[in-house]
Amino acid sequence: MEIGRGAEAILTRDGDAVRKWRLPKSYRMKELDERLRAERTVMEARIMAEARRAGVPTPIIRDISRFELVMEYVDGKKLRDIITPELSERVGEVVGRLHRAGIVHGDLTTSNMLLKDNRIYLIDFGLAYHDQSIEAQGVDVHVYFQTLRSTHDDADTLIESFRRGYRRAYSRADAVLARVEEIRSRGRYL
Concerning whether 124 is annotated as a catalytic residue, the answer is: no
User: In the chain, where do the E strands start and end?
Assistant: 2-5, 9-14, 17-22, 61-64, 68-72, 77-78, 103-104, 113-116, 119-122, 129-130
Tell me the Ramachandran region of residue 129: left when phi exceeds 0, alpha when psi lies from -120 to 50, beta otherwise.
Answer: beta
Q: Are 72 and 13 in contact (CB under 8 A)?
A: no
Residue 44 φ/ψ, nearest 5 degrees: -60, -45
Q: Which of 16, 107, 124, 174 is catalytic?
A: 107
SS3 11: strand
Distance CA 57, CA 113 (A): 10
Catalytic residue ranges: 107
